[in-house]
Amino acid sequence: MIITLKKTAPEQEVNHLIHNLEDHGLTITRIVGQNYDVFGLVGDTASIDERSILANPIVYNVQRVAQPYKLANRMFHPEDTIVDVCGIPIGGKKIIMIAGPCAVEGEQAICSTAGKVLEAGADMLRGGAYKPRTSPYSFQGMGSAGIEALKKAKEQTGLPIVTELMSIDKLDEFVENVDVIQIGARNMQNFDLLKAVGRTNKPVLLKRGLANTIEEWIMAAEYIMSEGNPNVIFCERGIRTFEKYTRNTLDLAVIPIIKERTHLPIIIDPSHATGDWKLVEAQALAAIAAGADGLIIEVHEDPAHAWSDGAQSLKPDKYAQLIQKARAIASVVGRTL
């Protein structure tokens, strides 16, 4: 971290600032300039809040050199992290396909869809039992009965279960029954929830918030990791922009950025990113070309009557076609699927 001080700063206040920083275990080098004095801070500056330093009237500027995240940082962990989900590696050579309905709508329905996506080539089953809906009058999910239905589908197909946790009070139920805990976009900065899943060793699918920067997203992963759980998988699902033709705007640049900055796997959700089934395939293929480690896609056997997100859900035959094309792209970029 580099702090630039105004030349008018009284020496007593400068010393006070230096002592405060030294109390954080930092070593400080001072360069006396003609117009400004510059302080170079060496050590772990993660706990220093640059804005509170900037609030000091003697400070002209504060610049961070190191990233505020440590455990997620590629610099301290050069090799890729591979997250193991029931023996399936996420983040290795193979691209992982997760598919299923937005919401679990009953045991028979989820078991049938699980069979179809398995046949198409999916590796894992998705389906929300607890749903974060914009309106309190919309279907809120089947709750525990939905989790039981997912377990039945897993029993029949062998597909691991990916489902969203919205509240800490359901954590035990998830640890016992679920293979990947999804943290939804709306909860990306629910720090207590992040810490709670951090205290488990379950793989966590961490969706990007609706309006969060990449750094905020990585810091959310850092929250989970700082509690001891290294099994974090990023999931880009589009962000809010001024554009109305799509539900969200898919940010594919995050794939190389996340891979450069962190060692964690990243998958793409082209369903929530576009909100339109007709756009899903193109975004899915582009994501694989851009280096994604997997795709999570909503699949429904009767999208017109889906209880949520029907407009962005693919029918199983369309999903099977998408996998065929995705396989071709994967081989071009040196991956398998």
The owner of tokens 């900037």 is 54
Are residues 204 and 232 in contact, defined by beta-carbon separation less than 8 angstroms?
yes
Q: Which does 207 bind (CB under 5 to 8 A by kind): Mn ion, ligand PEP, none?
A: ligand PEP
Residue 132 binding ligand PEP, by CB under 6 A: yes
First to last CA, the chain: 43
Q: Which tokens in the block code for residue 203?
A: 């793989």
At 189, which amino acid appears?
Answer: Q
Closer by beta carbon to ligand PEP, 207 or else 300: 207
Closer by beta carbon to ligand PEP, 128 or else 160: 128
Residue 272 binding ligand PEP, by CB under 6 A: yes
Residue 203 CB, shortest distance to Mn ion, in Å, is 20
Closer by beta carbon to Mn ion, 67 or else 313: 313
Binding mask 305-334 for Mn ion (x = CB under 5 A): ----x-------------------------
Beta strands in the chain (DSSP E): 2-6, 27-32, 36-42, 59-63, 83-85, 88-90, 96-100, 124-126, 161-164, 180-183, 204-207, 232-236, 266-268, 294-298
The owner of tokens 């937005």 is 102
Residue 263 CB, shortest distance to Mn ion, in Å, is 29
Q: Which does 158 bind (CB under 5 to 8 A by kind): ligand PEP, Mn ion, none?
A: none
- Residue 190: HSE in the Cβ half-sphere, 13 Å Cα cutoff: 16
Residue 297 binding Mn ion, by CB under 5 A: no
Beginning with the edge strand found earlier in the chain, give each strand of the sheet holding 27-32 in spatial order: 27-32, 36-42, 2-6, 59-63
Residue 184 binding ligand PEP, by CB under 6 A: yes
- Euclidean distance between CA atoms 93 and 8, whole angstroms: 58
Contacts of residue 228, defined as CB under 8 A and 6 or more positions apart, other chains included, come to: 198, 199, 201
Closer by beta carbon to Mn ion, 100 or else 198: 100
Q: Considering only 23-31, 106-114, 166-174, 181-189, which stretch makes contact with ligand PEP by CB under 6 A?
A: 181-189
Q: Which tokens in the block code for residue 28?
A: 């400080």
Residue 128 binding ligand PEP, by CB under 6 A: yes
C-beta nearest to ligand PEP: residue: 184
Site for ligand PEP (CB under 6 A): how many residues? Answer: 9
Chain Cα centroid distance, residue 8: 45
Q: Which tokens in the block code for residue 49?
A: 């809040």
Binding mask 281-320 for ligand PEP (x = CB under 6 A): ----------------------------------------
Closer by beta carbon to ligand PEP, 60 or else 139: 139
Binding mask 83-112 for ligand PEP (x = CB under 6 A): -------------------x----------
- Euclidean distance between CA atoms 147 and 99, whole angstroms: 16
Residue 158 binding ligand PEP, by CB under 6 A: no
- Measured on CA atoms in the order 87, 92, 95, 96, is the torsion positive or negative? positive
Among 3, 85, 88, 102, binds Mn ion (CB under 5 A): 102
What residues line the site for ligand PEP (CB under 6 A)?
A: 102, 128, 132, 184-186, 207, 237, 272
Residue numbers of the site for Mn ion (CB under 5 A)? Answer: 102, 309
